[in-house]
Amino acid sequence: MSDVGGKSVAVLQGGTGIEAEPLEPSQEIMSLWKKVHQSMRGEFGEAIFRSWLKPLVLRAYYHGTMEVSVPTRFMRDWIQNHYAERILAMCSESDSGIKKLQIVVVQNAIIDDEDLDGAKQDVKSVKANQNKKGEVASVSSPLDARFKFESFVVGKPNALAHAAARRVVESMAVPFNPLFLYGGVGLGKTHLMHAIAWQMEEHWPDKTVMYLSAEKFMYQFVRALRANDTMNFKEQFRSVDVLMIDDVQFISGKESTQEEFFHTFNALVDQNKQIIISADKAPSDLAGIDERLRSRLAWGLVADIHPTTYELRLGILQAKRQQLQADVPSSVLEFLALKVTSNIRELEGALNRIVAHSDVAKQEITLESTQEVLQDLLRAHDRRITIDEIQRKVAEHYNLRLSDMHSARRARSVARPRQVAMYLAKQLTARSLPEIGRKFGGRDHTTVMHAVRKIEELMDEDAQIAQDVDVVRRALTG
Ligand code: ADP
Ligand code: MG
């Protein structure tokens, strides 16, 4: 368990949920950490704190080791290389018994400002809350403290989805069931769902809200099946007031999970409980989803989020600049809004990078420095690297035939390079997982997702793979 925004929620570790629970740190260590965490803000500055240090969460303390978590591997490495030594020194200054700082990756572990400020961090109240909503919390996924209505910029492409989300929170009765949000990657579906959950908590604290990805729903279901415990599973899901399932396309082709979901869905609708679903496509376009379920999903309000416009991108950058309290000239924002058009996640990433760079290099942000720092990204956008190009380069690099990229051959000598190509396609193009899968001989999007994770993992462990990826990437972007 970990607390987010004063609520207790289960953290799905490393995306698998299979990991031992850490030892809980004592009150003294927790308050020491809170103090140190706050001093980092003073020492490293607001922008660096927000980009890198704010997401650090204390997880455990044992034999002089402080174990803290961050949400991504990239962050862990960056903090390890740039700040870890100083952070440890700050801890040891407060308690000389602290000898080591261990940084671990825990996906979705994000903590909110208010938590650090004190009152809400009261362990007792967290515990009480845990008991009350424990059942649900053990299944529900953590909410990202940044994903609230206040930080959601509304524009033409997302106006309908936003208005619908607001209605759900503000209505006494269920206004439409389900609310179905759909749109491409990185356009704000998850942000809106979390915003609903946060706001529900504020407006209707007695209601239980459950938010989880379809992937996790399936994982829980399969686990319940294995443990012969489907009764409990059904009860957990059917006792909530609001159920949100993110990225429902994930259960394409998973028949028994769909079946179970369909029953849960109907049971909740019968009890007049709100259901909110997101997907990358409209209900009618969801391939591999049972016809009954598809038509059921379209019963309520279907709201799509369109690709961003220049105005929305600029609006988001301006809002983000204010949040970061960073000195970014408007010409730079306009440049980014023009150049980084793929999705909002990438747009935010670009801004974070130039702000962090200017902080570290103690340089002011200009159009020139932006172009320099974002060279790789901008080049990828300018050149519009295609999947075909990636496949050609990878095949060339590994001395394979181009057809091996599409073939069904599973020999590692072919399968691994194919995974490298999928990984690069995800990284260097704006194509969605299903689109990439299609380009690789009609493979499923889950195969692509697996390939991306596998290569990310291997790059950490296997220097050869890391080098191969680097060489091919340079050949493509250089
Ligand atoms: P999706 O779930 O559709 O793939 P996310 O909700 O994860 O996309 O959004 C990706 C990133 O873009 C998040 O950091 C989110 O906060 C940000 N974002 C998306 N839409 C908006 C918006 N309208 N205003 C501000 N930030 C946004
Ligand atoms: Mg999402």
CATH of the domain at 361: 1.10.8.60
Query: What's the CA-to-centroid distance between 279 and ligand 2, angstroms?
Result: 8
C-alpha separations of 280 from 187, 249, 410 in Å: 10, 7, 29
Average pLDDT value for residue range 421-443: 90
pLDDT exceeding 90 applies to what percent of the chain? 55
Long-range contacts of 431-436 (CB under 8 A, 24+ apart): 431/387, 432/184, 432/185, 432/280, 434/249, 434/280, 436/387
* Ligand minimally distant from the alpha carbon of residue 323: 1
Is the per-residue pLDDT at 108 higher than 90? no
Q: Which ligand is nearest to the CA of 343?
A: 1
Q: Which two tokens stand for residue 64?
A: 């002089």
Atom of ligand 1 nearest to the CA of 162: 23
Q: What is the pLDDT of residue 22?
A: 55
Out of 119, 144, 168, a domain closes at 119
Ligand nearest to the CA of 182: 1
Q: Dump pLDDT digits (tens) for 332-356.
A: 998 899 889 888 999 999 999 999 9
Give the pLDDT confidence of 453-473 residue by residue, as tens digits. 999 889 888 889 988 998 898
Residue 342 belongs to domain spanning: 310-381
Q: Which pLDDT does position 198 carry in this prediction?
A: 95
Same domain membership, residue 283 and residue 358:
no
Q: Are residues 261 and 235 in the same domain?
A: yes
Domain boundary among 61, 90, 119: 119
DSSP per residue over 240-294, as a string?
Answer: -SEEEEE-GGGGTT-HHHHHHHHHHHHHHHHTT-EEEEEESS-GGG-TTS-HHHH
150 and 200 share one domain:
yes
CB-defined site of ligand 1, < 6 Å: 147, 151-153, 158, 183, 185-191, 316, 344-345, 348
Clarify whether residues 134 and 264 are in a common domain. yes
Instruction: Give the Cα separation of 146 and 137 in Å (integer).
Output: 19
Taking only the tens place, the pLDDT of each residue in 160-214 is 999 999 999 998 889 999 999 999 999 999 999 999 999 998 888 889 999 999 9
The verdict on 263 and 393 lying in the same domain is no
Contact status, residue 90 vs residue 53, Cβ threshold 8 Å: no
Q: Which atom of ligand 1 has the smallest separation from the CA of 151?
A: 25
**Does 114 lie in the same domain as 136?**
no
Q: Are 70 and 40 in a shared domain?
A: yes
Model pLDDT, residue 478 = 60
Band the pLDDT of 118: cuts 50, 70, 90: very low
The residue among 213, 275, 211, 264 whose CA lies nearest residue 234 is 264
Instruction: Encode pLDDT of 214-242 as tens digits.
Output: 999 999 999 899 898 888 888 889 889 99
Confirm whether pTM is higher than 0.75.
no
Closest Cα to atom 19, ligand 1: which residue?
188
Task: List phi, psi (to 5°) of 340.
Answer: -100, 90
Number of structural domains in the chain? 4
Q: Within this chain, do residues 89 and 203 fall inside the same structural domain, yes or no? A: no
Q: Give the residue from 70, 87, 119 where a domain finishes.
A: 119
322 and 300 inside one domain? no
pLDDT at 122 over 80: no
